Amino acid sequence: MTANAMVKAEGVHKSFGAAHILRGIDLEVAPGEVFCLIGPSGSGKSTFLRCINHLEKINAGRLYVDGELVGYRQKGDKLYELKDSEVALKRRDIGMVFQRFNLFPHMTAVENVMEAPVQVKRETKAVARERALKLLDRVGLGDRAGHYPSQLSGGQQQRVAIARALAMEPKLMLFDEPTSALDPELVGDVLDVMRDLAESGMTMVVVTHEMGFAREVGDSLVFMDGGVVVESGNPRDVLTNPQHDRTKAFLSKVL
């Protein structure tokens, strides 16, 4: 393994009952990289993200985040499953942004962003609020801090969700189709925030249908189909000159 990989998957398998969804995923995400995952619906992209973030347990293979096995502690040759409290600690380092923003409806934007640092990290409200306001400013919502989710557009809510994930100061951000639930005119603002985050050096794994974003911002791109990595490489190369028939067939439908 590359010593400093932020995410490393070696032969990762995941099944739900008889449904074998991930069928041996091998990939590596370097620190500071924007790593895009594309592929048809049902190919296992979300499942893979959820495995990275401890929301699903893999059935076989090895998955590492920042050099540490996901879900297990290694002692000598033996592996011990992490306790829930240990998993919770690991998950603090990983921010996740979903297709649906799932903000707390009864809390304002700034309260949503402060919530985890206060509840999970036991920060004082004053410290958490100050950071939350800075983050809202960073995502272009400095003037919306006191608004409730119902008073914000979908794109604004998604930017609050990104600020909320950043409030825990993660070392890795996972994005699961963050713009696919948005009206087209709201997509650009969210992608701009993600571009800004990429430029700041954040390591990002992004499941996306936004091929323009993958091409312009992505450092690496993986095309997944049927639970395997079919093709990977520089996004510009894969998107303009795909080598595999399955990649070509997929891209002919989405580009």
Which residues contact ligand ATP (rule: CB under 6 A)? 16, 19, 21, 39, 41-47
CB of 6 to ligand ATP, least distance (A): 21
Please list, in sequence order, all residues whose beta carbon lies within 8 angstroms of the beta carbon of residue 176, skipping any fewer than 6 positions away.
45, 46, 49, 96, 97, 98, 99, 207
Cβ proximity to ligand ATP: between 227 and 235 the closer is: 227
Confirm if 192 and 27 have CB atoms less than 8 A apart.
no
Residue 62's CB: how many other CB atoms inside 10 A? 16
Say what angle helices 154-166 and 184-199 make with each other, to 10 degrees: 20
CB of 47 to ligand ATP, least distance (A): 3
Cβ proximity to ligand ATP: between 45 and 144 the closer is: 45
* Rounded Cα–Cα distance for residues 144 and 155 (Å): 13
Name the CA radius of gyration of the chain, rounded.
Answer: 18
CB of 224 to ligand ATP, least distance (A): 7
CB of 12 to ligand ATP, least distance (A): 12
CB of 190 to ligand ATP, least distance (A): 17
Cβ proximity to ligand ATP: between 132 and 238 the closer is: 238
CB of 99 to ligand ATP, least distance (A): 8
Cβ proximity to ligand ATP: between 149 and 227 the closer is: 227
* Rounded Cα–Cα distance for residues 162 and 167 (Å): 9
The closest alpha carbon to 96, from 174, 170, 171, 203, belongs to 174
User: DSSP letters of 149-203?
Assistant: GGGS-HHHHHHHHHHHHHTT--SEEEEESTTTTS-HHHHHHHHHHHHHHHHTT-E
CB of 75 to ligand ATP, least distance (A): 30
Coil/strand/helix, residue 21: strand
Q: Report CA dihedral (123, 126, 130, 135) to the nearest 10 degrees.
A: 40
Cβ proximity to ligand ATP: between 47 and 112 the closer is: 47
Cβ proximity to ligand ATP: between 22 and 239 the closer is: 22
Cβ proximity to ligand ATP: between 43 and 108 the closer is: 43
Q: Which helix (H) or strand (E) holds 11?
A: strand 7-16
